[in-house]
């Protein structure tokens, strides 16, 4: 049967296979394609219900006008190699460049065998460069396999650890860079494999030093990216885990439906030309429609978006292999679906394409059997999952309005969730940028340290001291009340090399370097718990013990009062500290606060309250100040006067006072040592010289006979 190209009309388009076929509107692929004006398209299914995906595309490419995108034999061969495995794909990238790099290796090994860079043959240098290129892709392969190994190994221990394999996937490039830097330094000795190296000051020593520094730089870069990824994944896992899972599930199902849809009806076919233009964001859609209505040929404009996508996808294949991520892959179903969900117009176009592709011919709703028929019995479970996700009202069918509402809602929820996550994402991005700047600064210091021994010696000690002080000891935070060398300070700002304080007494700003502060005593008041305060007062020497105990009871009543028990602890004590010159007593009152002294205003208020009560309590007892509280001699309350007496009366009063004073003594004046130690003194005081000799002889013999102690042995006891 001779075939003829199909014709285009406003009502019906079909392959001219035979007269009967044309009249019936059928073709040999068992699919009827009904085309009408886009503005009056009926909402009926377009899929012939007697075949699956594999059967509907066996003989012809349906509904596509134009040349087929076919690969040549060489293209098919390369594509098979590219898609065989990741190893063959990497080999496709490594081998061509390695072949080019082998050219200087061969030349320096044969024709230019005497070529040197200083004292080193160039052959070893080019061999090392070849090793670096191959090792780069080996490290890339190891970094790619690392998440799989981690997930398999840690999944045996705990399934909750598997989620951190996502962090390793995101860190593929930093891990590759870190491994490659180690490999580059470890293989640098290959430069000298074909000749003896020169002195240590040659360019080779400089190169090795640079790669040593590169290892540390790569480690810092990896640590920074790991820190950011852990923050990001933990926050988003706690906040949006369920919503993200549901959204990914629906988008995955839409991806499967779109793949099956474009298998039955290829992209930009006549049936879905308008929908595909809306779905894939062709900015010339409106222009093409107006030109088509005017009867102008629009084939070039129709293909502009496809050419753009193909070029982008070509670059994306290699970029995806290098970065390990899907980038620039504009032809993938997932990329097309995600892009369509960005706008309501594209979402509705996607919903119409999917629904019209699967609904049986002449039907107005989608059934689960339609999905099973298209996907095949082997995918019945997937078809059931997809249908349950689409049939939100659980009535057993899905209409076009339901399909459009579902797809549009998926796009809206995705957009709203992205908007809600924007703030934290921006914060994490700012943190990443800030840490990247710090990494750059660290890179400069690292290379300066490696290439300048003097700078390394000075900065290592300084940085070590400051880092230990700031990150290990960390004696204070911003806003803390601290005492440094008995000076009361408040921490205003903490930098890497110094801290800025504000003095409490006069509000002056003080800056102290960390290497200096590391040698000082720092008392952190803010980090302290309940603190106590000691107050010293001097009282009259005539103050009795009963008066001191009475003062303590009065103060205990004060701290236990309901209005004061929130400010002071119930433990209060008074201690006799000093007798001075027997003219006054020094008492120390110890009061315990229920908080520390970080709040200076609160501390002053409590202290003032207690000081007023202390003064009032001493007056209530009463306790006299040093010298007594009587008015001064000559005061009207204590007038001075004189009385004239005779000499006989004066002698009598003086003798009486002496007798009374002597009677008050514990031991009368003139008493000998016999009153204290009669037995020890009775024999020794009779002959002091003999006692001294006996004492000396006793010390030499190691003992002194009882009753023969010298005056020197007795004197300390008397004191």
Nearest Cα to Cα of residue 276 among 261, 260, 290, 297: 261
The pLDDT value given to residue 610: 93
Query: What is the distance between the alpha carbons of residues 607 and 592, in angstroms, rounded to a whole number?
Result: 11
Q: pLDDT confidence of 35, banded at 50, 70, 90?
A: very low
Quote the DSSP letter at residue 546: H
Decide which of 134 and 35 is more confident.
134
Nearest Cα to Cα of residue 447 among 212, 688, 162: 212
The pLDDT value given to residue 395: 78
Mean pLDDT along residues 356-382? 80
The pLDDT value given to residue 179: 93
Mean pLDDT along residues 512-519? 91
According to DSSP, the β-strands at 584-593 and 487-494 are unpaired
Mean pLDDT along residues 226-242? 75
Please state at what angle helix 333-340 crosses helix 344-358, rounded to 10 degrees.
Answer: 130
Nearest Cα to Cα of residue 125 among 138, 116, 137: 116
Query: What is the distance between the alpha carbons of residues 351 and 250, in angstroms, rounded to a whole number?
Result: 13
The pLDDT value given to residue 399: 83
According to DSSP, the β-strands at 509-513 and 522-524 are unpaired
- Per the structure block, which two tokens stand in for 101? 């790099």
Hey, is 483 helix, strand or coil? Answer: strand
pLDDT tens string 413-441: 777 777 666 656 677 777 788 888 888 88
> Does position 268 have pLDDT exceeding 80, yes or no?
no
Mean pLDDT along residues 692-718? 43
- Per the structure block, which two tokens stand in for 588? 């120390």
The answer to whether 519 and 513 are in contact (CB under 8 A) is no
Q: Which of 55-64, 411-420, 460-469, 496-505 has the lowest mean pLDDT?
A: 55-64
Decide which of 453 and 518 is more confident.
518
Quote the DSSP letter at residue 544: -
Q: Which of 24-33, 107-116, 221-230, 270-279 has the lowest mean pLDDT?
A: 24-33
Hey, is 131 helix, strand or coil? Answer: helix
Paired residues of 622 in beta bridges: none
Q: Which of 315-324, 379-388, 465-474, 612-621 has the lowest mean pLDDT?
A: 315-324
Hey, is 359 helix, strand or coil? Answer: coil
pLDDT tens string 3-24: 333 333 333 333 333 333 333 3
> At a CB cut-off of 8 Å and minimum separation 6, what does 48 contact?
30, 31, 32, 56, 361
Q: pLDDT confidence of 538, banded at 50, 70, 90?
A: very high
> Does position 298 have pLDDT exceeding 60, yes or no?
no
The pLDDT value given to residue 34: 37
The answer to whether 490 and 501 are in contact (CB under 8 A) is yes
Beta strands in 90-152 (DSSP E): 116-117, 120-121
> Does position 709 have pLDDT exceeding 70, yes or no?
no
Mean pLDDT along residues 196-205? 67
Residue % of the chain over a pLDDT of 70: 70
Q: Which of 204-208, 294-298, 357-361, 501-505 has the lowest mean pLDDT?
A: 294-298
Hey, is 84 helix, strand or coil? Answer: helix
Query: What is the distance between the alpha carbons of residues 686 and 582, in angstroms, rounded to a whole number?
Result: 38
Model confidence, pTM: 0.41
DSSP string, 662-684: HHHSSS-TT--GGGT-HHHHHTT
> Does position 476 have pLDDT exceeding 50, yes or no?
yes
> Does position 36 have pLDDT exceeding 50, yes or no?
no
Mean pLDDT along residues 147-166? 71
The pLDDT value given to residue 424: 65
- Per the structure block, which two tokens stand in for 66? 């134009």
pLDDT tens string 495-515: 888 899 999 999 999 999 988
The answer to whether 27 and 338 are in contact (CB under 8 A) is no
Q: How high is the mean pLDDT of the chain?
A: 75
- Per the structure block, which two tokens stand in for 557? 């009543």
Upper half-sphere CA count for residue 619 (Cβ side, 13 Å): 6
Paired residues of 491 in beta bridges: 501
Paired residues of 487 in beta bridges: 484
Nearest Cα to Cα of residue 410 among 331, 354, 358, 327: 354
Cα radius of gyration rounded to whole Å, the chain: 49
Q: pLDDT confidence of 587, banded at 50, 70, 90?
A: very high
Phi, psi (5° rounding) for residue 679? -70, -35
Q: How far is CA 158 from CA 161, 226, 236, in A?
A: 6, 21, 21
pLDDT tens string 284-296: 455 555 555 555 5
The answer to whether 25 and 32 are in contact (CB under 8 A) is yes
pLDDT tens string 662-672: 888 777 776 66
The pLDDT value given to residue 556: 92
Decide which of 461 and 527 is more confident.
527
Q: How far is CA 186 from CA 135, 180, 445, 453, 685, in A?
A: 11, 10, 23, 23, 95
The answer to whether 490 and 538 are in contact (CB under 8 A) is no
Q: Which of 26-40, 310-324, 592-606 has the lowest mean pLDDT?
A: 26-40
pLDDT tens string 622-664: 888 887 777 777 778 778 878 888 898 889 988 998 888 888 8
Query: What is the distance between the alpha carbons of residues 463 and 441, in angstroms, rounded to a whole number?
Result: 14
The answer to whether 693 and 709 are in contact (CB under 8 A) is no
Decide which of 92 and 70 is more confident.
92
Residue % of the chain over a pLDDT of 90: 17
């Amino acid at each position: 049967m001779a075939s003829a190209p199909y014709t285009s009309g406003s009502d019906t388009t079909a392959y001219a296979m035979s007269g009967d076929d044309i009249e019936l509107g059928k073709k040999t692929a068992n699919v009827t394609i009904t085309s009408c004006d886009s503005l009056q398209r009926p909402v009926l299914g377009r899929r012939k219900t007697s075949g699956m995906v594999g059967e509907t595309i066996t003989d012809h490419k349906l509904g596509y006008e134009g040349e087929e995108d076919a690969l040549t034999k060489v293209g098919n061969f390369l594509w098979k190699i590219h898609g065989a495995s990741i190893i063959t794909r990497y080999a496709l990238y490594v081998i061509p460049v390695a072949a080019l790099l082998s050219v200087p290796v061969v030349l320096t090994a044969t024709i230019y065998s005497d070529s040197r860079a200083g004292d080193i043959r160039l052959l070893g240098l080019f061999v090392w460069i070849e090793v670096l290129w191959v090792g780069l892709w080996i490290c890339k392969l190891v970094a790619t396999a690392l998440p799989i190994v981690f997930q398999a190994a840690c999944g045996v221990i705990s399934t909750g650890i598997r989620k951190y394999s996502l962090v390793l996937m995101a860190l593929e490039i930093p891990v590759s860079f870190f491994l490659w830097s180690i490999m580059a330094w470890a293989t640098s000795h290959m430069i000298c494999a074909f000749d003896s190296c020169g002195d240590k000051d040659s360019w080779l020593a400089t190169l090795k030093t640079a790669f040593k520094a590169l290892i540390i730089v790569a480690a810092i870069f990896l640590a920074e990216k790991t820190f950011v990824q852990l923050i990001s994944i933990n926050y988003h896992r706690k906040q949006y885990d369920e919503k993200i899972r549901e959204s990914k599930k629906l988008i995955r199902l839409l991806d499967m439906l779109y793949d099956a849809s474009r298998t039955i009806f290829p992209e930009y076919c006549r049936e879905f030309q308008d929908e595909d233009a809306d779905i894939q964001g062709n900015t010339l859609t409106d222009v093409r429609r107006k030109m088509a209505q005017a009867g102008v040929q629009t084939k070039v404009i129709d293909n502009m978006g496809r050419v753009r996508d193909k070029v982008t996808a070509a670059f994306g294949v290699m970029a995806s292999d290098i970065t390990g991520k899907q980038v620039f892959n504009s032809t993938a179903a997932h990329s097309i679906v995600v892009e369509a969900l960005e706008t309501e117009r594209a979402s509705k176009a996607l919903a119409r394409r999917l629904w019209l592709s699967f609904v049986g011919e002449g039907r107005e709703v989608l059934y689960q059997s339609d999905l099973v028929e298209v996907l095949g019995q082997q995918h019945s479970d997937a078809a059931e999952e997809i249908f349950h996700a689409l049939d939100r009202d659980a009535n057993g069918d899905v209409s076009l309005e339901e399909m459009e509402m579902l797809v549009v809602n998926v796009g809206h929820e995705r957009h709203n969730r992205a908007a809600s996550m924007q703030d934290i994402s921006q914060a994490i991005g700012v943190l990443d940028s800030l840490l990247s700047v710090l990494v750059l600064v660290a890179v400069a210091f690292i290379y300066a340290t490696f290439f300048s021994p003097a700078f390394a010696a000075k900065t290592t000690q300084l940085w070590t001291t400051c880092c230990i002080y700031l990150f290990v000891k960390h004696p204070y935070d911003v806003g803390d009340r601290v005492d440094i060398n008995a000076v009361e300070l408040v921490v205003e700002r903490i930098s890497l090399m110094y801290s800025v304080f504000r003095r409490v007494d006069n509000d002056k700003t003080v800056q102290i370097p960390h290497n200096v502060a590391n040698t000082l005593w720092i008392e952190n008041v803010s980090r302290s718990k309940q603190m106590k305060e000691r107050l010293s007062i001097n009282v009259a020497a005539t103050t009795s013990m009963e008066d001191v105990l009475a003062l303590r009871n009065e103060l205990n009543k004060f701290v236990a009062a309901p209005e004061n028990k929130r400010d002071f602890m119930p433990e209060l004590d008074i201690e006799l500290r000093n007798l001075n010159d027997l003219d006054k007593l020094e008492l120390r009152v110890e009061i315990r606060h229920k908080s520390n002294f970080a709040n200076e205003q609160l501390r002053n208020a409590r202290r003032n309250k207690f000081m007023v009560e202390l003064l009032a309590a001493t007056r209530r007892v009463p306790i006299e100040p040093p010298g007594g509280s009587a008015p001064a001699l000559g005061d009207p309350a204590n007038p001075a006067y004189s009385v004239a007496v005779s000499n006989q009366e004066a002698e009598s009063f003086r003798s009486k006072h002496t007798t009374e004073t002597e009677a008050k003594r514990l031991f009368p004046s003139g008493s000998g040592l016999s009153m204290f130690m009669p037995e020890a003194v009775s024999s020794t005081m009779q002959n002091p010289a003999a006692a001294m000799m006996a004492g000396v002889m006793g010390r030499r013999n190691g003992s002194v006979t009882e009753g023969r102690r010298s005056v020197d042995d007795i004197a300390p006891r008397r004191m």
